[in-house]
Amino acid sequence: MKSEDTPFEGGPMDGRVLPVLLGITGHPPKTYRIPVPDPRGGEPTVLVYRRVERGQGRLGLTRRWKYVHDPEGRRGRVRRWPWSRPDTTPGGKPDAPHG
């Protein structure tokens, strides 16, 4: 698989550049999680970095990416398909099928 040297900004990884594996689209993952072990053997801390565009590549054809520290460590948006939503209709009857 291909990898790309990707810079990190903010947090403990600020200024470092790591080789990140690219997906089938040629882009690195949207979220990069780094588990940091607890020195006392407790639950590891997870550093969360989000992918953002860092500018155009040569000739403006390819995008280049960097990771920015997300101190809150949000999980990102959860996409819910219309048919997977919980039943909120009065009387508890399922919605009519779409189609």
Q: Which is more confident, 73 or 71? A: 71
Whether this prediction's pTM lies above 0.85 is answered by: no
Q: Which is more confident, 62 or 28? A: 28
pLDDT given for residue 51 in this prediction: 93
Q: Which sequence spans correspond to the domains of the chain?
A: 3-75
What does DSSP assign to residue 30?
Answer: S
Give the model's confidence band at 28: pLDDT under 50 very low, under 70 low, under 90 confident, else very high.
Answer: very high
Compute CA distances 12 → 2, 29, 69, 72, 91, whole Å. Answer: 26, 19, 9, 14, 52
What sign does the CA torsion over 80, 81, 87, 90 have? positive
Nearest Cα to Cα of residue 13 among 50, 43, 56: 50
pLDDT given for residue 84 in this prediction: 52
